Amino acid sequence: NAGVTQTPKFQVLKTGQSMTLQCAQDMNHEYMSWYRQDPGMGLRLIHYSVGAGITDQGEVPNGYNVSRSTTEDFPLRLLSAAPSQTSVYFCASTVSSGRANEQFFGPGTRLTVL
Amino acid sequence: AQSVAQPEDQVNVAEGNPLTVKCTYSVSGNPYLFWYVQYPNRGLQFLLKYITGDNLVKGSYGFEAEFNKSQTSFHLKKPSALVSDSALYFCAVNDYKLSFGAGTTVTVRA
């Protein structure tokens, strides 16, 4: 199994550009989520999904959109990039939304917005 | 809202010495607590979790954590640290959404 995969690994955008960060998992996990990691702030939840067709907002959703058309894929869209969105983005998945389940993380996408 | 705090930004220890990374929690009801590790330029990896039962939880790579309800703490420990344990460590609590502490950078010197 490849686990959780993310593309691209690195991306540089100009302010106002849009892009999609890809995330896929091959473990048949129901629950998927997106986090951003900023120095001194840990990881903050952007959006999450408890199954195909179901998404919800996390702690810092503004400026980001998600959709979940299949169990495997959970792309994150930046509609109009801003310098404040410079960060490292991690996708994660787990079996279900149960509280006891540990999450599996992808390798991350390092995004710089100029 | 449930939260965790990691009071130390950095922990430095010599190889072979005990390693402790501190975490305190604030929850209502039973806490579901986790430790994750992030090696340089990698994603997070699960180390261990406390759900219920024994207060001493054993995990991967020789790590263990002690749950203390009276002190609302969940400290990560390793009896003898290795240089390869140098990484960023996160404590987290799961209330159907995972909330992370700010992280503690561990440096183990040879």
Amino acid at position B19, single letter: L
Distance (Å, whole) CA A48 – CA B61: 30
Residue-by-residue DSSP string for A7-19: E-SEEEE-TT--E
Q: Give B51's contacts in chain A (Cβ within 8 Å).
A: 99-100
pLDDT at B95: 86
Contact A52, A69 (CB under 8 A): yes
Query: Pick from A48, A99, A106: which is nearest to B95 by CB?
Result: A99
Question: Which of A30, A91, A99, A105 to substitute to test the interface with B, most B CBs within 10 Å?
Answer: A99
Residue B105 confidence (pLDDT) above 90: yes
Size of interface A-B (CB pairs under 8 A): 53
CA distance to A113, B76, B78, B102, per residue, from B89 (Å):
27, 9, 13, 9
Contact A53, A32 (CB under 8 A): no
pLDDT at A110: 97
pLDDT per position as a tens digit, A60-78: 999 999 999 999 999 999 9
pLDDT at A1: 80
Helix (H, G, I), strand (E, B) or coil at A35: strand
pLDDT at B29: 87
Backbone phi, then psi, for A11, in 5-degree steps?
-155, 135
pLDDT per position as a tens digit, A32-55: 999 999 988 899 999 999 999 999
pLDDT at B53: 86
CB contact under 8 A, B32 and A58: no
User: Residue A63 burial by CB count (10 A; 0-12/13-18/19+): exposed, middle or buried?
Assistant: middle
Distance (Å, whole) CA B107 – CA B9: 11
pLDDT per position as a tens digit, B2-22: 999 999 999 999 999 999 999
Residue A27 confidence (pLDDT) above 90: yes
> pLDDT grade, residue B1 (50/70/90)?
confident
pLDDT per position as a tens digit, A77-101: 999 999 999 999 999 999 988 899 9
pLDDT per position as a tens digit, B42-96: 899 999 999 988 999 999 999 999 999 999 999 999 999 999 999 999 999 998 8
Amino acid at position B17, single letter: N
